[in-house]
Amino acid sequence: MVLRDVSVLYKQTILGFAWAVINPVFSMVVFTIVFGKLASVPSDGIPYAVFSYTALIPWTYFSGAMNASGNSLISTANIFTKVYFPRIIIPLTPVLSKLMDFVISFMILIVMLFYYRLMPGMNVLYLPILIVIMIMTTAGIGMWLSALAIQYRDVKFAITFITPLMMYAAPVVFPSSLILEKFGSTAYTLYGLYPMVGVIEGFRAAFVSTKVMPWDLILMGGVSSSILFITGLLFFSNLERKFADVA
């Protein structure tokens, strides 16, 4: 099913896998012009293009996989209502298939690091931890949303509405240090409960040696992502027997 997802996504397209790069690159250009140049949003001393692109790599994966996973049961209802197999495979499929785009998007980041003469430090070794938190968060939310969407079709429209709000709530266009500066240490720590905060800031620290790895945010995000994954799995398993009836 993962291979099917990847092949169907780019089948009969002219640019093929280039679309995996075009999406974050164009967003990076727009953010750099609007927030970096016009609004002069701080970027922790990092060139704003690198600052935004290192955030867009995990965010593009998260938003794309979350949307696909949330709508997965609706789009595959004709399959699981006829043939029995573990339904949990369905929302987890886009979580895995979107990793292909995630890996491809790194090529542009390597070029940007060379262009701006930035060298990753030892923090890059912690990248697997960030990726695990990112995947667990996406899978957990995907299981919650897919189980809800098959019963309440309003969820399908809510996902489209909520995704942009979640992006601006994450430190994609601004540094999380602004939360610390404006609202204090308590709000900053609680901000880390949004798992993508630690992931995004961790990605920046992994590829820019001048940044310190935000272990406080990563720890908070690791706890909340684990809770999302476990509760999502339990919630999905409890409702799984009803899916064929309501699809």
3-state secondary structure the chain: CHHHHHHHHHCCCCCHHHHHHHHHHHHHHHHHHHHHHHCCCCCCCCCHHHHHHHHHHHHHHHHHHHHHHHCHHHHCHHHHCCCCCCCCHHHHHHHHHCHHHHHHCHHHHHHHHHHCCCCCCHHHHHHHHHHHHHHHHHHHHHHHHHHHHCCCCHHHHHHHHHHHHHHHHCCCCCCCHHHHHHHCHHHHHHHCCCHHHHHHHHHHHHHCCCCCCCHHHHHHHHHHHHHHHHHHHHHHHHHHHHHHHHC
Provide the whole-model pTM: 0.91
pLDDT band, residue 16 (cuts 50/70/90): low
Q: When comparing pLDDT for 234 and 150, which is higher?
A: 234
Query: Percent of the chain, pLDDT > 70?
Result: 94
pLDDT of residue 2: 82
pLDDT tens, 75-124? Answer: 877 776 677 778 899 999 999 999 988 998 888 999 999 999 988 889 99
Q: What is the pLDDT of residue 12?
A: 61
Q: What is the pLDDT of residues 186-201, one digit of tens each?
A: 999 999 999 999 999 9
Host domain of residue 194: 2-246
CA distance 245 to 146: 15
For residue 171, give both structure tokens.
Answer: 């430190």
Instruction: State the total domains in the chain.
Output: 1
pLDDT at residue number 183: 94
In which band, very low, low, confident or very high, does the pLDDT at 36 lie, cut at 50, 70 and 90?
Answer: very high
Query: What is the Cα–Cα distance from 134 to 95, expressed in whole angstroms?
Result: 10
Q: Which residue, chain included where needed, has tokens 């006829």?
A: 82
Residue 247's pLDDT is what?
54
